[in-house]
Structure 1
Amino acid sequence: MEITGIISGLIIGIVIGALGRLVIPGRQRIPIWLTIVIGVVAALVGTAIAAALGVADTGGVDWIELGIQVALAALGVSLSIGMYGKRRE
């Protein structure tokens, strides 16, 4: 893997993680690095799911793939809020 692939993966992970945080209402008390990790994992898993469903390569913007990724990021953020919040208290 080239360095540009790693950098673009991190940027996409940051965007997906931020969108996942925006979907969840209220304040999330998790660190930004955890949001980035959740975003990167959600982007990778969401792409794999979209490829399995056959909607990964469409003409134009892949809205279905993006929706899957954001939904996975929101799920990851909500799960980590519960786990991280209980550990911190």
Structure 2
Amino acid sequence: MSWLWAIIVGLVLGVIARAILPGKQDIPLWLTVIFGILGSILGNAVAGWIGVRDTSGIDWMRHILQLIGAVVVVGVGDMLWQSMKGNRKRQQRT
């Protein structure tokens, strides 16, 4: 069940991160989910480092940090995806 939950959270965070970032992100949905999962893990790690991972009630700070992590990972991942995609096109022409 935890893997299913991670995929659902990754999808939601990845899609929200794509909506927050300006411009069009030309990455496939499966990569958006992976980037969302990685952003969630990054946000959880930061929440643990600053001591807000487990609080009473809803962990709003942890969720905000997860979203920030997803925005960063989707932004960087999109740039890497575009550079890899561009390199492939150049290699096919030669």
> Structure 2 length normalisation: TM-score?
0.82
- Superposed CA RMSD: 1.3
Opposite residue 66 of structure 1, the aligned amino acid is H
Tell me, yes or no, if structure 1 residue 56 matches structure 2 residue 53. Answer: yes
Identity in percent: 31
Shift of 1:19: 1.6
The aligned counterpart of 1:44 is 41
Q: Provide Cα deviations, 1:13-67, integer angstroms capped at 9, x if missing partner.
A: 1111112111101111011111100111111121122122111112222111111
Q: Which has the higher contact order (CA 8 A, sep 6+)?
A: 1
- Structure 1: state its 5+ residue gaps: none
1:67 to 64, 67, 70: 64
> Structure 1 length normalisation: TM-score?
0.86
Q: Which structure would you say has the larger Rg? A: 2
Opposite residue 50 of structure 2, the aligned amino acid is L
Alignment size in residue pairs:
86
For the residues of structure 1 that align with 2:84 and 2:2, how far apart are their CA atoms?
34
Opposite residue 42 of structure 1, the aligned amino acid is G
- Structure 2: state its 5+ residue gaps: 87-94
